[in-house]
Amino acid sequence: MEQTGRMGQEVLKQIQTINNFEVVCGVDKFDSGDNSFPVYSNPNDIVESPDVIIDFSVPDATINIVKYAVEKKIPIVVATTGFNEEQLNTLKEYSKNLPIFRAANMSYETNIMADLVSKLAVQLSDSDIEIVETHHNKKVDSPSGTALFLADSINAALNNEMTYEYNRAAKKEKRTKKEIGIHSIRGGTVVGKHSVFFFGDNESFEISHTVDSRAVFAKGTLKAASFIISQPNGFYSMSDLIK
């Protein structure tokens, strides 16, 4: 696991509160040196034999750690965001030979929100749909993986007829009914907030979800790790865990 980042540290903190997990090693390009377990800069140098891997890093690093996981036959939870289509296809290809759990957001409530907004999109099919996501000023990827997850859930419910609009400043033309606007705000220490707006004639509908602590994601990640360790090869998501 990438363990000097914010989420890596939160996962370590949550592991200390439960009995059925033990950290045997970590992988991190920038090791603080203050650990009770070995930390490697290259996964190929690992000498321990972990039962499951938790990845909170960046897409390029994730691909490398998944290659290691496939070689060693170790189930993995991928909680990293910001993948492009090619990288996601690579993960899905690897899942033919390994149980891989991948979620854009490890919060149970966020996944409930995705289900709700997809149903609303069908009922409010004539609405203009906009998504606004807010995160701390150190978040690298934009829009967030969760915003795209919500957009994809809505789009699937609408027969994948929608397009995503990220920059109306450059476009300078009237919005269409077949687009979902996605907007990113970065500032301060906001852990995460996502809002989906349905704008109709003379009225609007909004659903929002706010995370106040990273512990929410860490706990969800550990649930995913407990789940994936006993699954056959395949590509799993939060919907599989909820079921």
Domains and CATH numbers, the chain: 6-102+215-242 (3.40.50.720), 108-211 (3.30.360.10)
Closest CA to 221 of 40, 57, 37: 57
- The angle formed by the CA atoms of residues 129, 164 and 238, to the nearest 5 degrees, is 80
Ranges of beta strands (E only) in the chain are 26-27, 39-40, 53-55, 76-78, 99-102, 128-135, 163-165, 179-186, 192-199, 204-211, 234-236
How distant, in Å, are the alpha carbons of 15, 62, 82, 176, 226 from that of 20?
8, 25, 30, 51, 9
Closest CA to 220 of 190, 193, 196, 240: 240
Tokens 């150190």 belong to residue: 138
Spatial distance between the Cα atoms of 154 and 150, rounded to a whole number of angstroms: 6
Q: How remote is the C-alpha of 111 from its chain's centroid?
A: 11
Known catalytic membership, residue 135 = yes
Known catalytic membership, residue 139 = yes
pLDDT per residue, tens digit, the chain (243 aa), is 555 577 888 899 999 888 889 999 999 887 666 678 899 989 999 999 999 999 998 899 999 999 999 999 999 999 998 899 999 999 999 999 999 999 888 888 898 899 999 999 999 999 999 999 999 999 988 999 899 999 999 999 999 999 999 999 888 889 999 999 999 999 999 999 999 999 999 999 999 999 999 899 899 999 999 999 999 999 999 889 877
Among the listed residues 92, 136, 138, 139, the single catalytic one is: 139
Predicted model pTM = 0.75
Closest CA to 56 of 24, 27, 78: 78
Those residues whose C-beta lies under 8 Å from the C-beta of residue 76, and which sit 6 or more positions away, are: 52, 53, 54, 55, 65, 66, 69, 98, 99, 100, 101, 228
Q: How many CA atoms lie within 13 A of 234 on its CB side?
A: 9
Among the listed residues 119, 135, 193, 209, the single catalytic one is: 135
Spatial distance between the Cα atoms of 24 and 165, rounded to a whole number of angstroms: 44
Q: Is-contact 121 152, C-beta < 8 A?
A: no
Spatial distance between the Cα atoms of 110 and 148, rounded to a whole number of angstroms: 12
Tokens 């934009």 belong to residue: 142
Whole-number pLDDT of residue 156: 97
